[in-house]
Amino acid sequence: MTFNWNYMFGLLGDSEFWLATWTVIKLSSLTWIISIALGFFVALAKQSDRHALNLPARGYIWLFRSVPLLVLLIFIYNLPQAIPATSMVLADPFWAGLIAMVICETAYVAEIHRGGLLSIPKGQGEAARALGLKFFGTQWRVVIPQALRVALPSLANEYISIVKLSSLVSVISLTEILMVGQRLYSQNFMVMETMAAVAFYYVLIVTVFDFLLKRLERLLDVTQRKVSWVPDNQILALATQKQAPISRPLTEDNRPALQAVRLHKAYNNVEVLGAVNLNIRPGEVVSVIGPSGSGKTTLIRLLNGLEQLDNGEIKINGQPFIYLSKQGAQKPRFVEHVEHRLNIGMVFQSFNLFPHLTVLGNLLLAPRYHRLDELDALKQQAYALLHKVGMLDHAWKYPHQLSGGQQQRVAIARALMMRPQIMLFDEPTSALDPEKVNEVLQVIEALAKEGITMVIVTHEMNFAFKVSDRIVFMEKGRVVCDDAPQVLRNGQYPRIEAFLKDVSLA
């Protein structure tokens, strides 16, 4: 038996094959796109702490990864026998096949997404929350764009699997590539030649889409982008124009700008913070110092609502911000008035810039989300803040193209874009090389001179004693002393003197 090459090459121009190829492309592409969208919701539900979301998502993934696609196709196509109303859609093999494949693939894609979501550092969500983004805003604008880039190679591979699985849809009489081939070789018995042509069409689809998906992967990979941008005269003029104050005005009465009352926090029944009181007056700079493990970072995270307190209350301008609501014998309920969150800016130890956005994009994300102003006005404000922190020349770069000190200065500018009344700094220089520390401290010192209310957790003792109005010393989750720098220098507190014994204060 000889292989009929002429017959096989003739099939490569067969119109019925090309129509079937178009059907496979439509079916596979729609299945892939819809599954990606639905898979995100299933993945997020599976990661949720709420059992009402978590358990159904786990059950869905378990069930539809267990049921063979062939069984699901036959079941969906014959569903009108049990539910006649579904015949309006399911009578068409294309729609029946699409629905069955989407149901099946969503379970697989959800797990791919979950891997992508788990790869995103926790700090990305915390940074978004500190900027006032709600859950879906955080997912849509911060987490999903990054997770999608991570998951794209696996998603591309899943598309190839979908293309090949589409051959099973012939079982419900949808005319796709394999069915056309089966019809032909059942008539002329040229099985090898016909199957070679079938293979060609599948290889063609996979090759074209693999090329396109790799281009998309490169497009989304910000590490491959090279940016060279110098601000022109117009942008320099915008950056140097007189701007509105960088923080919103505080109340004019004698109420504290920020007040913490008997804050308590424990992890696994181990007390980390116990009965901490703190009052920050408007325009005051307070540094929090102490040995490692003393509860400094926990305190500042509680002040911003990034950790849920176990007891106590936090007020802003005398108004309740975070507290526990107790009703009768019920378990205390954590309450946060989110409208006050925009009054607090947060700068993290590890910067937590959004890596998929440029420097300018990082600054604009939250103000645009909250619709604080028109885009042109926000850009002008962003240019001015970048100029203030010495980063205007880097506005179109991505975070990975910046040094640690540069990233932290951008993080400060991003927090200031919200014009917060109070700025919180969580060890802003601890992740920096020694030579980069001063450039960040100079920015913070300049802000202190402008009268911005600040709470700074720091290990930089000279800096703390230089810029602070008060210094809070913590140890073992308690405030040991809270006094002016001059008082702490004169030896009235033996514990402070022992802590600073190896520090040469300027």
Residue 214 has which token pair? Answer: 């790799």
Identify the CA nearest to 370 among candidates 131, 141, 145. 131
Instruction: Evaluate whether 471 touches 483 at the Cβ level (below 8 Å).
Output: yes
* CATH code of the domain covering residue 471: 3.40.50.300
Distance CA 226, CA 124 (A): 23
Six-digit token string for 87: 């015949």
The reply to whether 111 and 23 lie within a common domain is yes
Q: 389 and 445 in contact (C-beta within 8 Å)?
A: no
Which structural domain, as residue segments, surrounds residue 83?
A: 5-220
Query: Which residues of 400-502 form beta strands (DSSP E)?
Result: 422-426, 453-457, 470-475, 478-483
Pairing assessment for the beta strands 453-457 and 470-475 based on DSSP bridges: unpaired
Q: How does DSSP assign 311-336, residue by residue?
A: EEEEEETTEEEEEEE--TTSPPEEEE
Q: Are residues 209 and 287 in the same domain?
A: no
CA distances from 456 to 64, 227, 404 (A): 51, 34, 19
For the cut 60, the answer to whether the pLDDT of residue 483 exceeds it is yes
**Could you tell me if residue 313 is inside a domain?**
no
How far, in Å, are 29, 159, 319, 381 from residue 33 at the CA level? 6, 9, 47, 38
Contacts of residue 371, Cβ cutoff 8 Å, sequence gap at least 6 = none
**CATH number of the domain where residue 59 is located:** 1.10.3720.10
Going from the C-alpha of 152 to that of each of 30, 145, 220, 295, the distances in angstroms are 16, 11, 9, 40
The mean per-residue pLDDT over the stretch 76-102 comes to: 93
Indicate if 199 and 296 belong to the same structural domain.
no
Q: Is residue 103 part of a domain?
A: yes
Q: Residue 462: name the closest of 409, 427, 503, 492 by CA.
A: 503
Give a yes or no: residue 241 inside a domain.
Answer: no
- In this structure, the answer to whether residues 378 and 459 fall within a common structural domain is yes
Residue-wise pLDDT tens digits, 10-54: 999 999 999 999 999 999 999 999 999 999 999 999 999 899 999
Express each pLDDT in 369-404 by its tens digit. 999 999 999 999 999 999 999 999 899 999 999 999
Same domain, 33 and 120: yes
The mean pLDDT value for 301-325 works out to 90
The number of distinct structural domains making up the chain is 2
Starting from the edge strand earliest in sequence, which strands make up the sheet with 311-316, in order? Answer: 270-280, 258-267, 311-316, 319-325, 333-336
- Residue 248 pLDDT exceeds 60: no
- Token readout for 497 is 């003197």
pLDDT for residue 250 is more than 70: no
Indicate whether 229 belongs to any domain: no
Residue 439 placed within a domain:
yes
Domain shared by 213 and 293, yes or no: no
In this prediction, residue 337 carries a pLDDT of 87
pLDDT (tens digit per residue) in 128-139 = 999 999 999 999
Per-residue pLDDT, averaged over 106-134, amounts to 94
From the centroid of its chain, how far is CA 477? Answer: 31
Q: Is the pLDDT of residue 55 over 90?
A: yes
CB atoms within 10 A of CB 321: 24
Question: For the chain, what is the mean pLDDT?
Answer: 90
What is the C-alpha separation between 266 and 268, in angstroms, rounded? 6
CA dihedral 203, 206, 209, 214 (to 10 degrees): -110
pLDDT of residue 252: 56
Pairing of strands 422-426, 470-475: unpaired
Q: Is 424 exposed, middle or buried (0-12, 13-18, 19+ CB in 10 A)?
A: buried
Q: Does residue 19 sit in the same domain as residue 149? A: yes
Q: What is the pLDDT of residues 272-282, one digit of tens each?
A: 998 899 999 99
Same domain? For 210 and 297 the reply is: no
Whole-number Å distance between alpha carbons of 110 and 36? 8
Give the model's pLDDT for residue 430.
Answer: 86
Q: Tokens 């003739």 belong to which residue? A: 10
> CA dist 108 to 58, 391, 443, Å?
12, 43, 48
User: Under a CB-based contact definition with an 8 Å cutoff, are residues 162 and 103 in contact?
Assistant: no
> Based on the domain organization, do 31 and 174 belong to the same domain?
yes
CA distance 143 to 313: 30
Asked if the structure places residue 72 within a domain, the reply is yes
Q: Do residue 291 and residue 166 come from a single domain? A: no
Of 220, 242, 264, the position where a domain reaches its end is: 220
DSSP string across 85-143: GGHHHHTSHHHHHHHHHHHHHHHHHHHHHHHHHHTS-HHHHHHHHHTT--HHHHIIIII
Same domain, 212 and 286: no
Q: Has residue 260 been placed in a domain?
A: no
Mean pLDDT of 267-295: 90
Residue at a domain's end among 220, 250, 272: 220
The pair phi, psi for residue 374, each rounded to 5°, is -70, 155
pLDDT at 69 over 80: yes
SS3 assignment, position 188: helix
Q: What is the pLDDT of residue 344?
A: 93
- Quote the pLDDT of residue 251: 56
Q: Give the mean model confidence (pLDDT) for residues 102-110.
A: 97
Domain boundary among 220, 239, 268: 220
pTM here is 0.87
Closest to 475 (Cα-Cα) out of 441, 499, 452? 499
Same domain, yes or no, for 102 and 207?
yes
Would you mind telling me the total number of residues written for the chain in this entry?
Answer: 506
Is residue 249 one of the residues assigned to a domain? no
- Measured from the Cβ of residue 206, the count of other Cβ atoms closer than 10 Å reads 15
